[in-house]
Amino acid sequence: MWTEFADKKKEKSDEADRTALRVFRDMVRKKRDQELEDGVLIHGAFRNRIPAHAADNSDESGPDKSVKSSLSAEAYQKIWTDKSNMPNYQTMLVSEFL
């Protein structure tokens, strides 16, 4: 009889754990989807690219560095304005100073 109670208790505990995991997975999926909609870069997507980028930096030290940019300063300012006016960015700013 004791083992039956222990089994039932374990089943209830396991079900609670599964429910909690479902909730956490849903939260992560919702956050990931929201970030994708907002255009937030995911740092994991750029993993293992740093060594290749570091090798390319040695070529950019010359005067041709400004020629490599295909966007104008105004285009970069517009991108920054658009990104910084997004609700998630504003929320981040508020939460950073709390």
What is the domain partition of the chain in residue ranges?
2-59+72-96
d(CA 64, CA 21): 52
pLDDT for position 56: 52
pLDDT tens digits for range 28-83: 999 888 887 777 665 565 566 655 545 555 544 445 554 455 778 888 888 888 88
Q: How confident is the model at residue 89 (pLDDT cuts 50, 70, 90)?
A: confident
pLDDT for position 50: 58
Structure pTM? Answer: 0.37
pLDDT for position 9: 93
pLDDT for position 21: 93
In the 3-class helix/strand/coil scheme, how is 26-43 assigned residue by residue?
HHHHHHHHHHHHHCCCCH
